[in-house]
Amino acid sequence: MFFEIKNIVVAYDSVTALNDVSIKMEEGQIIALIGANGAGKTTLLRAATSLVPVQKGSITFNDVDITDMKSELIVREGITMVPEGRQIYPYMSVKDNMLMGAYLRNDKAGIRDDLDRLYQLFPRVKERMKQQAGTLSGGEQQMVAICRALMARPKLLFMDEPSLGLAPIVIREIANVILEINKSDNLSIVLVEQNSRMALRISSYAYVLETGKMALEGDSKKLVKDPHIVKLYLGG
């Protein structure tokens, strides 16, 4: 199995945030993780990158147990994340923000090639490469955050609420980029989203978290028609 989270339990003090949660994916897939605020979606990504400890269960990537592996080593294994809220460096230039994603690399020619490729993928990022990142719009900052993660050349990309607070036209642009990088690079993506309609549209498989437990899972095209999903998450 390319990536698997198996029966994990995560708690903050005495509050259980994830209880016996499991997901799995094959290489090249886009899977969606949807649910309401506080359902545990972000906690799952943080657990998978060792930003919060796992009390029980296991996490494997390419048959390597990464459950207790340090975060920087997980990046070296090939997993990066676009965090919720973008978390760019506001006083650094756009280009320097992107280069932060390549801090574990030393192949200068490859880094230049990747910068050029991302500039083609995000023309607005290229136009603003010398600006302080904090002066960009929310959508442009999100593009920079995606570029920063891609500069690490990941095999698996976690995206935490990439559409949060963005205008519909920018959301569509981000969705198209997700599909493009998945197709062109065979990049596997775990997409955490409150925009359930978008997430189900671009993913092949989806999991639904409710109050720290896995409530439902299945083919995204089927879930988008599921009465429970339609009522709770799609405004039906």
Could you state, in order of their start, the residue ranges of all structural domains in the chain? 3-78+154-233, 89-152
Whole-prediction pTM? 0.94
Question: What pLDDT is stored for residue 36 in this prediction?
Answer: 87
Question: What pLDDT is stored for residue 72 in this prediction?
Answer: 93
pLDDT in 10s for each residue of the chain, 236 residues = 999 999 999 998 889 999 999 999 999 999 999 998 889 999 999 999 999 999 999 999 999 999 999 999 999 999 999 999 889 999 999 999 999 999 999 999 999 999 999 999 999 999 999 999 999 999 999 999 999 999 999 999 999 999 988 889 999 999 999 999 999 999 999 999 988 999 999 999 999 999 999 999 999 999 988 887 888 777 64
Domain 3-78+154-233 is found in CATH 3.40.50.300: yes
Question: What pLDDT is stored for residue 135 in this prediction?
Answer: 95
CA 7 to chain centre: 21
Question: What pLDDT is stored for residue 235 in this prediction?
Answer: 64
Rounded Cα–Cα distance for residues 85 and 162 (Å): 8
Question: What pLDDT is stored for residue 187 in this prediction?
Answer: 97
